[in-house]
Structure 1
Amino acid sequence: MKLILLSGGSGTRLWPLSNDSRAKQFLKVLHNEETGQLESMVQRVYRQLSQVVAQDDMIISTNAAQVDMLRNQLGDVPIIVEPERRDTFPAIALACTYLSTVTGMQDDEIVGVVSVDAFVDVAFYQKVKELEQLVLTTGAEMGLLGIKPTYPSSKYGYLIPELHNEHMQVGRFVEKPTEEVAEGLIASGAYWNSGVFAFLLGQMLNKLTEQQFSREYEKLCAEFISLPKNSFDYEIVENLSHIVALTYDGYWKDLGTWNTLTEEMTQQVIGNGGLSDDSLNTHIVNELDLPVKVLGISNAVVAVSADGILVTDKPASSRMKDMLHEGLFSRPMYEERRWGWYRVLDYTRKDNQDVLTKRLCIKKGKNLSYQYHNYRSEVWTIISGEALFILDGKQTNVRPGDIVQIPAKTKHSLYAVKDTEIIEVQMGEAVIEEDIVRLEYDWENVIVTI
């Protein structure tokens, strides 16, 4: 079995720590019982899956905005980059063509699909692995994994069994019913739909052929924007007649709001903060250096990042998405990249020029891409570390206190000999990410020289 890990979403419900590029699965707020360190949801899921399947049997499907964060948190893992966000059917279809064209997977082998943001025990992924044999032995068109409901939720889809012995024969689906309807479904033996799929690779490829799309990876990349913008459930699963499912009665949770996320956090304060003794069941998550103190407020979340500040009682945190129309979600002020991270410190416009100030950390052994900008100049101040600065091919060593000026259209980069932090001031008529022209550079030669 090959596993496709779906990593998407914009993380609006966990603002201000999550944003359009840093979705909820990248927030390092969960306790890793093995290392004692904090880890993200995607790190937890990948670690758990690695205990069940070989890492070589996993690929991750994501959008371009998340590639650097995945590399930063998971290392050099196989990643399929969707040309644009088009829901789960196009994402899974593209990943299947990659498995066929690039890895040589055969049509009669099983593909599994899981998301990277579920909070479960390892036993859940052992059940996912068991779906491979279930689909092969029953000849089913699709294998699913049902979760035993713990309450009548209106947030999840439900699997309605037609027959339930050693495994479930799925009769029909009910998508996000009211709580009243959900109560009746649970009483009749329904299960939550976990969003796990298992199917023959050839089945997905044949579907593409029926829809007159290519079965080859590179060609489907070019056709991607024409694929139906639809979920895998609606486009594929609900149109099948022979669907089987295994059931899972263990721990399973969607950490989609601050309320549910903090229930799984072992630390009440992450970052620079403090709680009074009478602030019960309150959590602080602070990514800034400024101190945050909470006095006499219980059952609340205080989340602080460069994107903004959220103060909410826990039940109300589920309404975060309703505030989208109020303009909270502008450009991301903090992002993780393959080389480290950056945080926006200030933005202003003077004399018909934009001025954007950032703080960047480039990790030891990492480098910024060799690049130039058409519409802005930059000034870098080295505040810590040691690095090799490259300007139009010329290499110089830089240390704390050094200042370098980078005119527009000048090729430049930086390689960190030690963890290096810089203050970067961008000035020009357009200080946008799109104004980056990346070039090739002989980094192996630089590393040997150092």
Structure 2
Amino acid sequence: MNIVLLSGGSGLRLWPLSNEQRSKQFVPFFKDENGHPASMLQNVWSQLSERGLHKSAVIATAVGQQELIREQLGRGIDLVLEPAKRDTFPAILLSVAYLYSHRGVSRDEPVAIMPVDSQVGGSFYDSLLKLPQALESTGANIALMGVKPTFPSEKYGYIVPKAISEVSSVASIEMFYEKPSAKEAAQYIERGALWNCGVFCFKVGYVLDLLAKMGLPNTYEELLLAYSHLESDSFDRVVTEKEERIAAIVYDGTWKDLGTWCTLTEELDDPVSGKGFIGKGNKNVHIMNELDIPIVAIGLSDIIIAANNEGILISNKEASVHLKDALLQMKEKSLLKEDSLALIDHTEPQVRTIDRSVFADGTIVTTRRIQLKAGMEKSFIPLEDGRKQIVSWTIIHGNSRLVKKKETKFASAGWNIVLEDSDHATLQALDTVDLMEIITVTGDPVFVNTNEHIDGYLAG
């Protein structure tokens, strides 16, 4: 089975730590088994890797986020690059076209779609592998994974089944309900409703036929040319909710959507991240601070305090589900920054992404501020995917040793080091070193100047 991980959202409900430039799936909210910072994306990829499922997985993401993914997961990740964020419907169409034309996946092979912002138990992946069987046994075009609810949540969508097989735990679908009230949710649960966790499966041919009906090509490069003209909407609304031949399997295990501060903080081991102090009289309070000044909380209950250069949030955890609406109103009043001033990646060494620009010809320029503690190293490794890369290191402060092509030089403040594809170099910090890094990557195949072909496809 092939797997498409959807990793293109902005996650504004976790503002200010998550925003349009640094999406929630990249923020290191968690710790891995070695105690190192880990993001949602890294957690999911680790779970897939433990089961060998990463070999058949691709990640669908916006082109401007590809370097973030490679920083967190490595250079060998197979990416489906969207020229712009346009919701899950166009992202899934493009991903299937990529599997079909680049990976040689046949029409009859199943594809599972899953988000990266969920907390799940190990049995989740056992259920995931049952989705193709549900397609075969029911003759459905789409098989969903439905989570058995533990309480009448207002945060999730619901799948109301007609009937559930006691033998196979496969259900036929009656209807969908999106984020009902707690009273309505309780009524749906009495009817056997399941939480819609955004995981589903279909055969490659199902989407290829859909592309054909829309008069669109089924190859990755050709579909990219018409991408900006695809409907910007969710796959659920455009396809799933209109599909008559649909089924669901029941997953009775650990699952939680981490898309809001309320649900995310329930999974955090430490109530304080960054400079913060929780004083007396607090109950269920979390501080997530990326500023270099302390935050102190006293006598509060059920509160999230999150702060960085983007802004400061102080909210009741349950009420934080309304954050996105507040941000839209703030944007109308010009109270939000157009772009983040600095995006903290929380890696070691300390990295701040100052700017990431994507130009019309596919060139990507990333500017980062990096601090190396004494003994740390920063290495330059050429890309292995055919693209060209030029990296400039300008040392702002501190002393270091540059090892380049087996030659060693002393490099201090004022040095500018330019590295190209043929270079292999390492910068070793002798004391605390601050530097600016500019990475210029060219040769990405996503952007091709062939507007005449776009017009041809639209006319067809």
Q: Structure 2 counterpart of 1:417, which letter?
A: L
Match of 2:434 among 419, 422, 435: 422
CA deviation after TM superposition for structure 1 residue 97, in Å: 0.9
Q: Structure 1 counterpart of 2:50, which letter?
A: Q
Query: Is contact 1:276-1:294 (8 Å) kept?
Result: yes
Q: Structure 2 counterpart of 1:71, which letter?
A: R
Query: Is contact 1:19-1:329 (8 Å) kept?
Result: no
- In structure 2, stretches of 5+ residues that fail to align are 356-366, 383-388, 444-460
Q: Which residue of 1 aligns with 2:275?
A: 272
Query: Is contact 1:371-1:439 (8 Å) kept?
Result: no
Q: Is residue 2:317 matched to residue 1:314?
A: yes
State the Cα RMSD in Å. Answer: 3.3
Mapped to 2, the partners of 1:277 and 1:337 lie a distance apart of 29
Q: Summarize deviations over 1:35-85 as a string: whole Å, max 9, x none.
A: 233321111111122233432101000112321221111113111110111
CA deviation after TM superposition for structure 1 residue 125, in Å: 1.9
Give the structure-2-normalised TM-score: 0.78
Q: Which residue of 1 aligns with 2:187?
A: 184
Q: Secondary structure at the match of 1:48?
A: helix
Query: Is contact 1:30-1:40 (8 Å) kept?
Result: yes
CA deviation after TM superposition for structure 1 residue 423, in Å: 4.9
Query: Is contact 1:52-1:126 (8 Å) kept?
Result: no
Alignment of 1:30-429 (within 5 A): 30-32=30-32, 34-75=33-74, 76-165=76-165, 166=168, 167-324=170-327, 325-326=329-330, 327-332=335-340, 333-336=342-345, 341-342=351-352, 359-361=369-371, 364-366=378-380, 369-370=389-390, 381-383=396-398, 385-387=400-402, 397=409, 399=411, 401-404=412-415, 416-418=426-428, 421-424=433-436
Query: Is contact 2:395-2:433 (8 Å) kept?
Result: no
Q: Structure 2 counterpart of 1:144, which letter?
A: L
CA deviation after TM superposition for structure 1 residue 322, in Å: 2.6
Mapped to 2, the partners of 1:300 and 1:151 lie a distance apart of 22
CA deviation after TM superposition for structure 1 residue 112, in Å: 0.5
Q: Secondary structure at the match of 2:378?
A: coil
Query: Is contact 2:145-2:248 (8 Å) kept?
Result: yes
CA deviation after TM superposition for structure 1 residue 102, in Å: 0.9
Q: Alpha carbons of 1:105 and 1:344: their partners in 2 closer, same or farther (altered >3 Å)?
A: closer
CA deviation after TM superposition for structure 1 residue 334, in Å: 0.8
Q: Structure 1 counterpart of 2:68, which letter?
A: M
Query: Is contact 1:278-1:296 (8 Å) kept?
Result: yes
Mapped to 2, the partners of 1:337 and 1:366 lie a distance apart of 19
Q: Alpha carbons of 1:218 and 1:371: their partners in 2 closer, same or farther (altered >3 Å)?
A: same
CA deviation after TM superposition for structure 1 residue 301, in Å: 2.4
Give the structure-1-normalised TM-score: 0.80
Q: Which residue of 1 aligns with 2:453?
A: none
Identity %: 36
Q: Secondary structure at the match of 1:114?
A: strand
Mapped to 1, the partners of 2:245 and 2:178 lie a distance apart of 19
- In structure 1, stretches of 5+ residues that fail to align are 346-356, 373-377, 390-394, 426-432, 441-450
Q: Which residue of 2 aligns with 1:14?
A: 14
Number of aligned residues: 405
Name whichever of 66-75 and 152-161 sits farther off. Answer: 152-161
Query: Is contact 1:144-1:196 (8 Å) kept?
Result: yes
Mapped to 2, the partners of 1:217 and 1:46 lie a distance apart of 24
Q: Segments of 4+ in structure 1 off by > 6 A? A: 337-340, 411-414
Q: Alpha carbons of 1:380 and 1:417: their partners in 2 closer, same or farther (altered >3 Å)?
A: closer
Q: Alpha carbons of 1:309 and 1:174: their partners in 2 closer, same or farther (altered >3 Å)?
A: closer
Q: Secondary structure at the match of 1:21?
A: coil
Q: Which residue of 2 aligns with 1:354?
A: none
Q: Structure 1 counterpart of 2:434, which letter?
A: I
Q: Summarize deviations over 1:104-145 as a string: whole Å, max 9, x none.
A: 111111100000001111211220111122212332211101
Q: Structure 1 counterpart of 2:414, which letter?
A: I
Name whichever of 270-279 and 255-264 sits farther off. Answer: 270-279
Q: Summarize deviations over 1:144-175 as a string: whole Å, max 9, x none.
A: 01111223333322212122112101122223
Mapped to 2, the partners of 1:202 and 1:30 lie a distance apart of 38
Query: Is contact 2:21-2:339 (8 Å) kept?
Result: no
